[in-house]
Chains A and B, each alone.
Chain A
Amino acid sequence: MADISKFALLKTLFWFRKMKLNLFGVKSNSLFKKTLAIFGLMLTPIFLLAADDVVAPPTEFNPMAWDWSSILILVLAILIILVIARSFDIGSLTEKITGKTIVSWNNVNAWAGIIFLVVGLIGVWYEMKIHGKYLKLGDSASAHGETLDSMFYWTFGFTFFVFVVTEILLFYFMFKYKYDKNRKAAYFFHNNKLEIIWTIVPAIVLTFLVLRGFSTWTKITTDIDKNSEEIEVFAYQFGWKARYSGDDKQLGTANFNFISGTNPLGVAEDSAVSSLVNELNGEIKKLEIIKASIEDSSKLWKAQYDRYVSTGMSNSYPEEFKQMKSKYNDLISGAYERQLEKDIKRKNTAIKRIAAYQKDHETFNGTAKDDKITTEIVLVKNKPYIFKYRARDVIHSAYMPEFRAQMNCVPGMPTSFAFTPIKTTEEARASKNDPEFDFYLYCNKICGAAHYNMKIKITVVGSEAEYKTWLATQTPFVAPPAAPAAPTSPKADSTAVKQGTVVKN
């Protein structure tokens, strides 16, 4: 591949030189060659990429494996459309020859508009009838959701009225004023009274909606109960974790630099952070050893590479060879070494930053020790909550449609959303007539391959006691002093945070 493309590139460049191209001039005598050269130029990005083997090679040409029946159906359908099309062509030709109108498109179009309007409105009604029960209008599971739902109905009432009236007028006009060669259209340019009315009326209605929206929005976002319980909700590719404060009613601080396998949320807790520092130091050592021996390994890789090429294994194991070749190329070009250096530098920075934090007693104040990290969220009905959102890697969005709540989770920018659940899971199950129903928090901001399956269950219980019972079953970040405290053992479910794991709940 690479050779071919390089050849093509050279060839193109050669042509250019030979032809003394004057691309923008108007005089030309080797038109064909010039056109070719231009298209060659256009294709250079592809050539360059092909040279680096980054353009995917075409899939193997194997017509036997094709889905011939679908292709046939598709081709047939297109043919039928074309035949219909031709027959109408001929139809209009006969019309012209015989001078008789076979189809009066004027009427057909006018009627089609009316039929479309009627059938369309019936369709909307029918869809409402079938799926209306799934719409999240009314029956909100949160306090503020009820205000939102009522505002929704107001907006819906207004817009649906306008929608129906204007669409009816549109298609009615289309019908009523269809072409008639004996009639002349009215001749007027504007009507100030009418225009003022239809500017002012929407403006008034919109003002009303804006004012309601304004007060609701302000209430939801700023009118927050001081006694709300804080729960941290942590988003990562691809899952969620929650953190409850322990007995001290305080969430410990956290920082992305502290995140490790045993400390998935990066809370500021001495022993976990110290062991992370050790871990980092160990990794740096390892990387440095690799770096020191880079010359030797280059030789080894080269030998390996040559062996693949000379024995023809490069052809029999193309996948392995490709991987090896890219590693080999990285080694030879020094990319590998640069990568190692970057890694080492990054890890050193992390260590430096952690050390600075460790001196700061505000951060390491011990409040994180009793925090409980959980893989589901349990709430108590009628108790106000603030969800404090953090994201580990990319932007996620915490979407709880049943609670009419959503907020983005942004790396480097903590966000929050306050709400009060007013329905227990049991109540919701009863009202939805679905014994298996559960509340969920979904991810609603594109975040990668498993975005569509990134959710965490929310259970709303009826009483504080139930909640306490559940919380007691969750382990604190550092086990209380009574238990023998091993430096690495207590951790809340760190196994789920693995590369690319899709957390299924």
Chain B
Amino acid sequence: MSTAALHAEHDSHHHDHKESFISKYVFSMDHKMISRQFLITGIIMGLVGMGMSLLFRLQLAWPDEQFGILETLLGKWGKDGKIDPNFYMGLVTIHGTIMVFYVLTAGLSGTFSNLLIPLQLGARDMASPFMNMLSYWFFFLSSAVLLTSIFVETGPASAGWTVYPPLSALEKAVPGSGLGMTLWLVAIALFIVSSLLGGINYISTVLNMRTKGMSMNRMPLTIWAFFFTAILGVLSFPVLLGAALFLIFDRSFGTSFYLSDIYLEGVGALENIGGSPVLYQHLFWFLGHPEVYIILMPALGITSEVISTNARKPIFGYTAMIISLMGISILSFIVWGHHMFITGMNPFLGSVFMILTLIIAVPSAVKAFNYLATLWRGNLRFTPAMLFSIGLVSFFISGGLTGIYLGNAAMDIQLHDSYFVVAHFHLVMGSAAIFGMFAGIYHWFPKMFGKMMNNTLGYFHFWFTFISAYLVFFPMHFMGLAGVPRRYYQFTLVKEFDVWMDVNKLITIAAIMGGMAQVFFLWNFFYSIFKGKKATQNPWESNTLEWTTPVEGIHGNWPGEIPTVYRGPHEYSRPDRESDFFPQHLPDETAPVTAPQEGEQTAPTEVVPQETVESSVFFAAIKRVLGLS
């Protein structure tokens, strides 16, 4: 790897120019600034998405009440203090879109891949800082277009975040499928461009720009997770772009990719024949399923790192974790049909998807057990980041287990599109990934802003959010098991669903509590950026490379030479050392340097289990197959 040469060249043209406001804060090409931009945009989008969920939760809990404030806020969509049914759909759709794409894809991956890939691997910046900048600005533009679409006269897109045609294709079927939907499609197209620019960059940086000694199997699990995430994104987002393009053609140019045999009230029989709405679903979920792992994997990577650091203990099963991530990544491309069991697909195809889906549960289970084993006999420091990571593990388990129900085609007949699904994905993907994001923010805030956040506020933030997330999403399982459908505007018209009103009220109150809890966070975050205590060099006593860079963060990351790496990232509590951590960049004095092995244990031989060698052979073989080493 000729990284050294690359860096040298990089160095020479970095130190001479003076940065202007624009090139420093707006069109910045520094990965640390871009990661801040992603984070803050993500937080803003997250607040919008959360605000929307509170609005429609209000409607679900008190459908007969009138809230004057709604009319103030929403104008004609909140006539007489009640949300309009069409706008309800719009809110749900935009809420889902914002949360999935804008907060947990761009906000999470964009922030932490950008921050950590160069810092933890020892690179001066991303492979292409310019593409990186473009990636952010496409994302920004995309966010602007999406937010604009909310104010359109006919309302925002309102066919659900999956925007299934024909509903999303026919303006006459629902008003939101007019201009609102066009803007949604434009926003998503821009988003995909941003995501591809970012992803390609992450992949090439990980493959080519690691510092001396940073072989692939010494990379922190965060980087592994970002790496697989980026690969998933690069392979699956183009398919969504294709799906969206066909939809644009159907909407505006009279093609029939997704449309056939449609009669619309007030219009008559449409000309389109031969298309298939189910085709769209296949294309969409070919992205859609990997997408949920695009959301989750970075959170899992962050959690691995945070748990290992704060348990003061090597992560249990480093190799197993990587193999699980790899297994999940590969399998995630061939399970999309589990979202479509009851679309009338061939039952045999359904069976195949069911089997593949339940196979993916195995690597996921392995990851959960590995987290537990890492905590076992650790010495846990409850930093806010650690608490959020533990919260993630809890959500990952409780949300992941219900996937076994939904992945089973037979049971999905009953559970599909019920509140059980809402409960499932909000726990395993929504809450888990958000908690991973919070863990990342609390853990790397000192690196991002050079300041410390307040721990006490973090504890409050954690406990209130954790409790309210469970209160909001756990009861939804029961509603789903009782057959309550999702995306319903109101439950009072059906007696069987009306009995859940008290639960709905509980959920909404808990959601409001959860919303308020974010004030702790926002205050802590913005106050600390400006007035926080100055960060120390290595506040969490962590092993990884990012803590060797200067606190105030300079362009090019390290003032002098980039440190060399001597071992894996998880050497905590080594029995032969005084302190309970052993940074990656410190050369070994005691033990002789051996060939890089699993988790890179260089500890005295008696603590290294014999099996290590076998598994690392396996690991090396996989690497050779993939051409990674």
Contacts and interface: CB of A to CB of B under 8 A. Distances in A.
B564 interface: no
Interface stretch (A80-88, A293-301, A465-473): A80-88
Interface string B491-531: 10111100110010000000000001001100110000000
B369 A189 contact: no
Given A77-B516, A192-B615, A198 B311 contact: no
Interface stretch (B36-44, B234-242, B359-367, B543-551): B359-367
Given A26-B17, A170-B375, A395-B167, A159 B401 contact: yes
Contacts of B416: 397, 406, 444
Interface in A191-213: 191-192, 194-195, 198-199, 202-203, 206, 209-210, 213
Contacts of A393: 166, 170, 173, 262-265
A136 B373 contact: no
B575 interface: yes
A269 B404 CA distance: 48
Given A166-B397, A199-B362, A189 B485 contact: no
B111 to A, nearest CB: 21
Interface stretch (B102-110, B463-471, B554-562): B463-471
Contacts of A131: 478, 482, 499-500, 503
B588 interface: no
B601 A66 contact: no
Interface string A32-75: 00110010001101100100011110110000011100110000
Contacts of B278: 410, 413
Chain B CB within 10 A, most for which of A213, A397, A405: A213
A91 B454 CA distance: 12
A5 interface: no
Nearest to A220: B410
For A166, A187, A213, which residue has the most chain B Cβ atoms within 10 angstroms?
A187
A410 B615 contact: no
A216 B411 CA distance: 9
B355 interface: yes
A186 B573 contact: yes
A402 B474 CA distance: 23
A106 interface: yes
A105 B68 contact: no
A185 B377 contact: yes
Contacts of A266: 263
A370 B598 CA distance: 76
A356 interface: no
A210 B355 CA distance: 6
Interface string B72-115: 10011000010001100100000000000000000000000000
Given A399-B485, A406-B342, A169 B372 contact: yes
B418 A444 contact: yes
B351 A217 contact: yes
Given A49-B148, A77-B516, A199 B366 contact: yes
B592 interface: no
Given A155-B404, A159-B404, A190-B317, A105 B366 contact: no
A37 to B, nearest CB: 11
B462 to A, nearest CB: 8
A454 B139 CA distance: 38
Interface stretch (B18-26, B220-228, B433-441): B18-26
A221 B350 contact: yes
Given A59-B75, A174-B390, A394-B173, A446 B413 contact: no
Contact of A56 (B153, B164, B475, B489): B153
A230 to B, nearest CB: 16
Nearest to A89: B454
A146 to B, nearest CB: 12
Nearest to B69: A67
B481 A136 contact: yes
A449 B23 CA distance: 47
A178 interface: yes
A2 to B, nearest CB: 14
A220 B276 CA distance: 25
Contacts of A220: 410, 413
Interface stretch (A6-14, A108-116, A309-317, A484-492): A108-116
B275 interface: yes
Interface stretch (A244-252, A342-350, A360-368, A372-380): A342-350
A183 B379 contact: yes
A495 B67 CA distance: 36
Contacts of A147: 410
Contacts of A406: 342, 413-414, 416-417
A243 to B, nearest CB: 16
B405 interface: yes
B128 interface: no
B4 interface: no
A458 interface: no
Contacts of A345: 271
Given A127-B475, A136-B482, A220-B410, A445 B417 contact: yes
A259 B263 CA distance: 7
B414 A136 contact: yes
Nearest to A108: B459
A206 B311 contact: no
Interface stretch (B283-291, B296-304, B380-388): B380-388
Nearest to A404: B414
A170 to B, nearest CB: 6
A257 B269 contact: yes
Interface string B472-493: 0011001001110101111101
B184 interface: no
A116 B262 CA distance: 53
A125 interface: no
A393 to B, nearest CB: 5
Given A45-B144, A116-B466, A179-B382, A394 B516 contact: no
Nearest to A501: B265
A449 B382 contact: no
Contact of A395 (B277, B393, B404, B474): B277
Given A59-B72, A189-B609, A404-B413, A202 B382 contact: no
Contacts of B271: 345-346, 349
B535 interface: no
B141 A42 contact: yes
B26 A38 contact: yes
Given A217-B410, A218-B351, A49 B152 contact: yes
Contacts of B141: 42
Interface string B33-61: 00000000000000000000000000000
Most chain B CB inside 10 Å of its own CB: which residue of A59, A166, A498: A166
A96 to B, nearest CB: 11
B379 A213 contact: no
A185 B495 contact: no
Interface in B104-152: 140-141, 144-145, 148, 151-152
B408 A31 contact: no
A185 B519 contact: no
Interface string A210-240: 1001101110111000000000000011000
A444 B417 contact: yes
Contacts of B589: none
B268 interface: yes
Contacts of A415: 343-344
B318 interface: yes
Interface in A153-196: 155, 158-159, 162-163, 166-167, 169-171, 173-174, 177-180, 183-192, 194-195
Given A116-B463, A163-B398, 10 more contacts: A26-B17, A28-B20, A92-B454, A136-B482, A190-B609, A221-B350, A392-B263, A397-B342, A406-B342, A444-B416
24 contacts: A24-B27, A55-B152, A65-B72, A66-B68, A67-B69, A81-B516, A82-B523, A89-B454, A108-B459, A110-B382, A134-B499, A148-B414, A151-B408, A155-B408, A167-B398, A188-B607, A189-B601, A189-B608, A190-B316, A190-B318, A206-B404, A256-B269, A411-B260, A453-B490
